[in-house]
Chain A
Amino acid sequence: MPILLSSNFQWVLLSTMLLGMASGFIGCLAYWKRQSLMSDALSHAALPGIVIAFMIFQEKNFFVLIVGAGLSALFGAFLIQTIKSSSRITEDTAMGMILAVFFGGGIVLLTMVNRSGNGNQAGLDSFIFGQAASMVEKDVTLMSLLALLIIFIVFLGFKEWKLFLFDPEFAKGLNLPLKGMNILYLSLLVLTIVIGIQAAGVILMSALIIIPPVSARYWTHSFKRMMWLSAIFGGGSGAIGTTISSLGSGWPTGPFIVTTSAVIFLISLFFGLKKGLVIEYLMLRNKKTEINQKLVEPFVAKEGKQ
C-alpha cells in the first residue's frame, strides 16, 4: 500500500488526528453544556457559507471557504439564539429548524453552482461527506495549526472550563467572565467545525464532536481525564478513518471516521471501566452474592452445628 508511505498522506493523517483531538476537547465542553446537537446544527449551517464563498471568489481556496463556513455557522448560531430568546420555541426545535433550512439552502446553492458549470466547482461536493485526501499541503498546515490553537486554548483553561460548565452561577460570583467564555466557547466550536469540514464533511463533522466525549465518559470520573480520553478517542478515530478511506480511490473520509468512533463508543459502552455495562453488571452480581451469603451463612452455620 504505497499510499500509506507517501509524505502527503502522512501529513493528512497528522492533521486529521489533530482535528480529532481538538474535536474531542471541544466535544467535552459541548457535552457538559448539553449542546451536543448544537454542533450538528452549526456544521450543517456552514454549507451555504462554503458555496457562497466559492460563488464570490470562484476558487476553492481552503481559507476563503472556511471563513465563509464560519460566518454562515455563526449566523446560524445567532438565529438559534434569537429564535430561542424571542419566542416560545425551544432550543432543540430552533436547532432542528436552522439545521434543515441552512443545509437545504446550501444544497440548492450547490446545485446552482454545479449547473453553471465552469469546471472550477468540481470537488465542492466533497464538503458534504468529506475528502481528506483531496487536501493540499497548504490546507493541511492551516488546519493543523488551527487545531493546535484550539487544543492549546482549551488546555490552558481546564480549571476555568470546569467551573464554567459545572456551576455557571457560582462562577459568576467568582467574577469569571461568563459572557466572554460563552463567546470563546462558541467561537472555538465553530472553528473546530469549519476546519474539519473538508476532512469530515458537514453532515458528519458533528459526530466527531459528539461521540468521543460520550465514549470517554464510560472510562473515568475525572473531568481532566475525560477531556484527554475524549481527545485520544477523537484523534484515533480521525487517524484510523483517514487511513481506511485512503485505501480506496474516492472513498469519503467522514463516514469512516464516524464508523471508527462508533466502534470505540461500543467498546466503551460495554467495557468502560467506570460506567460500562459489563462492569456495572459484575458489580451488581458481586453485591448480590455478597448479600445472599450474608443472609444464608448464619443458617448454614446453625445447621452445621446440629
Chain B
Amino acid sequence: MNVLDVKGLCASYRKNTVLNDVSFSIQPGSLTSIVGPNGAGKSTLIKALLGLHPSLSGSISFFGSPLKQVKTRVGYVPQRGSVDWDFPTNALDVVMMGMDGQIGWLKWPNKIHRQKALEALEKVGMAAYAQRQISELSGGQQQRVFLARALIQEADLYFMDEPLAGVDASTERAIMAILRQLKTEGKTVLVVHHDLQTVMDYFDHVLFLNRTVIAHGKTDSEFTAENIEKTYGGTIRWLKEGIGYANPIKQ
C-alpha cells in the first residue's frame, strides 16, 4: 500500500493557479526530495496535502485513508520563518509542543514527557540548549529544534519544508543523518529541497514540480539533465555545457 496517493490536485492563490493536476504516489520507506524553481508551488503542495491550504479539486489519501483519520501518523516540519522566534519559550518547550496530542488536551505534561523531549533534543544534538530562549538560537539550531519537535510525534510520514535552507554544513549533515535514520526505521520522508547539488547524495527519490509534476521516480533514473531543464526552463545554463547533473549549481 502506498503511503500517499495524490490524484488531480489543484490549488490556487486568488487568481493564480499554483498547482494544476498534480498526481503522484509515495512508497513506504522512501526519502523523496521535491524540487522546482521559486513559485513552482512546492510549499503550497505540502500545505495543500496537509489541509493547511485549500485545494480546489483532486483526492488525497494517506495510508489509504483521508488525512483526518490518520493525522497522528503524519508529522510536519514547517519553514523556520513561519513562526515568531521572539515568542517567550525555550527549546525544550517547543519540542514538548510536539507531544501535546499525546499528553492530551487540557492536561499538564509530566516528567516522562519532559524526559522524552530531552531525548529528542539529544538526537538532534541540542540537549545542551534545552533551556535556551528560542530567540537566542542560531538558524541551524532553530531548525534542529523543529526537527526534534517532529521526531517526538513518532509519525510514519514526515513532510519537511526546506529544512536545509540557510543552515551550515554541520547542521546539514546532522539533519540528513536523522533523515536517513528515519528511513532505516521504515518511515517515509518528503522534503522540499532547493539545492540541486545535493539531491543525488541525499535522496533516493525525486519529484520535479513546476505547477504540476514534471517527473517523479528514483533519483538514479529520473534526476537527469533533461528533467531539470524541463522543470527549470532554460535558466540553468550549465546543463548545456555537457557536464550533466554531476556539476550542478545552486538554484
Contact = CB atoms under 8 A, between A and B. Distances in A.
Q: Do these two chains really belong together in a complex?
A: yes
Given A159-B109, A170-B76, A170-B97, A165 B87 contact: yes
A5 interface: no
A166 B106 contact: no
A176 B72 CA distance: 12
Given A175-B71, A221-B133, A223-B88, A169 B97 contact: no
Interface in A185-237: 217, 220-223, 225-226
Contacts of B47: 169
Main secondary structure of the interface of A (DSSP, over half): helix
A166 B100 contact: no
Contacts of A225: 88
A30 to B, nearest CB: 14
B185 interface: no
B88 A226 contact: yes
Interface residues of A, number: 25
Interface residues of B, number: 32
A220 B88 contact: yes
Contacts of A174: 71, 98, 100-101, 153
Given A162-B89, A166-B83, A172 B51 contact: yes
A223 B82 contact: no
Interface string B74-91: 111010001110011110
Contacts, number: 75
B88 A167 contact: no
Given A220-B88, A221-B133, A223-B88, A162 B78 contact: no
Interface in B99-156: 100-101, 103, 105-109, 133, 149, 153
Interface in A33-53: none
B90 A221 contact: yes
A174 B149 CA distance: 12
Nearest to A175: B71
B89 A223 contact: yes
B176 interface: no
Nearest to A32: B87
A166 B84 contact: yes
A157 interface: yes
Contacts of B94: 166
B74 A160 contact: no
Determine which residue in A165, A170, A220 has the highest number of CB atoms from chain B within 10 A of its CB, and name it: A170
Contacts of B106: 156-157, 159-160
B165 to A, nearest CB: 17
B143 to A, nearest CB: 14
Interface of A: 32, 156-157, 159-160, 162-163, 165-167, 169-176, 217, 220-223, 225-226
Given A166-B87, A222-B89, 8 more contacts: A160-B106, A162-B89, A163-B100, A166-B89, A166-B94, A173-B50, A173-B52, A217-B88
